[in-house]
A and B are shown apart, each in its own frame.
Chain A
Amino acid sequence: QVQLVQSGAEVRKPGASVKVSCKASGYIFTSYYMHWVRQAPGQGLEWMGRVNPTGGSTSYAQRFQGRVTMTRDTSTSTVYMELSSLTSEDTAVYYCTRSIGVTGDYFDFWGQGTLVTVSS
């Protein structure tokens, strides 16, 4: 069965960086794009970007450009999302989710979420 298992909760100070992992299993890793979506406390869902596991190419939401890096390791079927220059506004649950990668696409499986808390 398809599973996306994320790393555990993190606490960081303002200005620091955080790296969250998402290990995929139960399907062909390189057949699906992996996206990152975040949700601040009590707020809605925000798409951050995606990585193509086949070649590693990325697309990021403009508001995160220069601050986010998404990578993948095909040997372990794991994707990573690193966010730098953290502020309190980055406190959120971060989800990885997969899609096939075409127009009209959808997120059919999600990780369990990783809470990142930014606090001095």
Chain B
Amino acid sequence: DIQMTQSPSSLSASVGDRVTITCRASQSIARSLNWYQQKPGKAPKLLVYGASSLQSGVSSRFSGSGSGTDFTLTISSLQPEDFATYYCQQSSSPLPWTFGQGTKVEIK
């Protein structure tokens, strides 16, 4: 199975900060990498798919980049509603698809 490693596991940031989360795959997955946001008690929400395509309705302050094994999710200016846990997920072939362990973004 492909292992996904996110860093950091948690971070503290202030409103307005630029935040970057990284995700590394244990082998090349081309651009088959997605990012989700999850708030407590809620289902995950798709933010970015195909490494860099923004899901419809998602704020443009979110952006994704990378290919192969190294990927990043950037929040350009952190807003109060962005405090949540973020997960990367690979959808390369073959199955199983796997998630990173998550990055919790907390208020500084």
Number of residues from B at the complex interface, CB < 8 A:
27
Q: How far apart sit A45 and B86, CA to CA, in the bound complex (Å)?
A: 11
Q: For residue A14, give the distance in angstroms from its CB to the closest CB of chain B.
A: 26
A106 to B34, Cβ gap below 8 A?
A: yes
Cβ contacts under 8 Å, A59 to chain B: 95-96
Q: How far apart sit A15 and B45, CA to CA, in the bound complex (Å)?
A: 33
B96 to A62, Cβ gap below 8 A?
A: yes
A104 to B91, Cβ gap below 8 A?
A: yes
B98 within 8 A of A: yes
By a beta-carbon cutoff of 8 Å, the part of chain B in contact with chain A is 1, 30-32, 34, 36, 38, 43-46, 49-50, 55, 87, 89, 91-93, 95-102
What is the chain A residue whose CB lies nearest that of B98?
A47
B92 to A112, Cβ gap below 8 A?
A: no
Cβ contacts under 8 Å, A45 to chain B: 36, 38, 44, 87, 89, 99, 102
Which DSSP category, helix, strand, loop or mixed, fits chain B's interface? loop
Q: How far apart sit A104 and B44, CA to CA, in the bound complex (Å)?
A: 18
Partner of A107, one of B32, B46, B98: B46
A46 within 8 A of B: yes
Cβ contacts under 8 Å, A56 to chain B: none
Residues facing B in A83-120 (CB within 8 A) are: 95, 97, 99, 103-108, 110-113
A61 to B36, Cβ gap below 8 A?
A: no
Cβ contacts under 8 Å, A35 to chain B: 97
Q: How far apart sit A97 and B43, CA to CA, in the bound complex (Å)?
A: 10
Q: How far apart sit A44 and B97, CA to CA, in the bound complex (Å)?
A: 14
